[in-house]
């Protein structure tokens, strides 16, 4: 059966059926004295039809539904807002959890791709100085059901116009690898044929560099992509930007990227945020090229998205960005891309997910995990 966070996602400790894998759900219904095909019926309602009310599952007997209500439920995030960017290339979703906390997800539209950017935690404990979510502190982990429900609700909006989510990135609020068990469970649920059907090759997990989680993920049979948020070329600067570097150094991350490739056969993407006067100098480009040399990796450059908050960081000029790319590409053979944020006008761009709504700051609760 799933871990406690999947089960106790509502007062009363009823089992959240949305968070159970097929084998777990079969075991659950059989323990209730039902035939195992009932599990398939339940998942068809939950993932295929998007139904959260047991009363609406009309091919289940009334007696079975009433028995289910005593010990189980189907969670559903409350959608408070869906806001579209001026260009139509990004939609920001605001969801409320049963406890009143709020999280954000983003739909990114690019060509034929429809990418759902999902949150894994309420807030984040890692306190990266350039990220709005880090300013919230850590509140709590999301259950597997709450992670996958973001995808289901984003996909539902797309279905209304005849489209579907094609890709998933775990790049929303929180550090996914500090919510490891629920992350892995959610990824497995995303691949269900009865549901979203998003296979591992279309899912990318982004981490600030939590090394134990990276190594553990490399040993999972998930076939997913991995992105590591690097953002500096020296440990001294990275420690100032990202406190996690005090424990897990750049050299450790490069070694982990090599190991991930050897075990999973997939190149790691290094994400690098360009901040004017901080990480965008010529020597930074040269050093980044040197770090990537010989590594089976890709580099994704992200011009800093200003937060509208009090911050010393600024977006580099287009001229400086072009110069950085020119130097980098001249000195490395790895693929280099520039991520053009599509949701800046609705605060849905990389690093901008942040909620001024009183989510409590409990950094100490997560510090022990790092």
C-alpha count within 13 angstroms, C-beta hemisphere, residue 142:
37
3-state DSSP helix/strand/coil % of the chain, to nearest 5: 40, 20, 40
Dist. CA 39–CA 26, nearest whole Å: 5
Q: How would you classify residue 64: left for phi > 0, otherwise alpha for psi between -120 and 50, otherwise beta?
A: alpha
The string of DSSP codes covering 43-94 is: HIIIIIS----GGG-TTS-HHHHHHHHHHEE----EEEEEEE-TTSSEEEEE
Catalytic one of 104, 128, 175, 271: 104
Closest CA relative to residue 305, chosen from 347, 336, 277: 347
- CB-based contact 20:2 (threshold 8 Å): yes
Side by side, the strands of the sheet bearing 225-229 are 78-84, 90-96, 102-110, 113-117, 167-170, 203-207, 225-229, 268-274, 297-303, 335-338
350 annotated active-site: yes
Instruction: Give Cβ neighbours of residue 340 (< 8 Å, ≥ 6 apart).
Output: 303
10 annotated active-site: no
Catalytic one of 117, 124, 131, 350: 350
Instruction: Give Cβ neighbours of residue 248 (< 8 Å, ≥ 6 apart).
Output: 209, 210, 211
Provide the CA 314 distance to its chain's centre, in angstroms. Answer: 25
221 burial type by CB count under 10 A (0-12 exposed, 13-18 middle, 19+ buried): exposed
- CB-based contact 105:150 (threshold 8 Å): yes
265 burial type by CB count under 10 A (0-12 exposed, 13-18 middle, 19+ buried): exposed
Q: Which residues are catalytically annotated?
A: 104, 350
């Amino acid at each position: 059966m799933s871990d406690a966070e999947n089960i106790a996602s509502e007062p009363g400790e009823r089992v959240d059926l949305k968070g159970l894998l097929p084998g777990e759900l079969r075991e659950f219904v059989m323990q209730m004295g039902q035939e195992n095909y009932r599990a398939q019926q339940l998942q068809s309602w939950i993932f295929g039809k998007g139904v959260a009310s047991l009363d609406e599952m009309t091919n289940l007997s009334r007696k079975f539904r009433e028995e289910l209500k005593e010990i189980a439920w189907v969670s559903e995030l409350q959608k408070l807002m869906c806001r579209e960017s001026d260009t139509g290339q990004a939609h920001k979703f605001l969801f409320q959890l049963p406890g009143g906390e709020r999280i954000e997800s983003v739909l990114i539209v690019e060509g034929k791709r429809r990418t759902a950017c999902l949150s894994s935690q309420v807030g984040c404990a890692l306190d990266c100085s350039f990220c709005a979510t880090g300013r919230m502190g850590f509140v709590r982990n999301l259950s597997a059901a709450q992670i996958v429900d973001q995808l289901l609700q984003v996909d539902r909006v797309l279905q209304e116009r005849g489209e579907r989510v094609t890709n998933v990135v775990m790049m929303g609020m929180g550090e996914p690898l500090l919510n490891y068990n629920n992350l892995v469970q959610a990824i497995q649920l995303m691949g269900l044929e009865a549901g979203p059907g998003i296979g591992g090759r279309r899912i990318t997990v982004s981490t600030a560099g939590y090394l134990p989680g990276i190594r553990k993920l490399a040993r999972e049979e998930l076939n997913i992509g991995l992105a590591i948020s690097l953002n500096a070329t020296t440990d001294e600067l990275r420690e100032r930007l990202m406190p996690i570097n005090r424990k897990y150094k750049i050299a450790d991350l490069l070694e982990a990227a090599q190991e991930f490739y050897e075990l999973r056969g997939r190149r790691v993407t290094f994400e690098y945020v360009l901040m004017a006067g901080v990480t965008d100098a010529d020597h930074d480009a040269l050093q980044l090229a040197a770090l990537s040399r010989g590594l089976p990796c890709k580099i994704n450059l992200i011009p800093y998205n200003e937060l509208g908050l009090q911050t010393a960081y600024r977006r580099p000029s287009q001229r400086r960005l072009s110069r950085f790319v020119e130097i980098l590409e001249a000195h490395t053979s790895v693929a280099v891309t520039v991520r053009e944020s599509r949701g800046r006008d609705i605060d849905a761009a990389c690093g901008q997910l942040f909620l001024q709504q009183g989510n409590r700051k409990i950094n100490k609760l997560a510090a022990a995990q790092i």
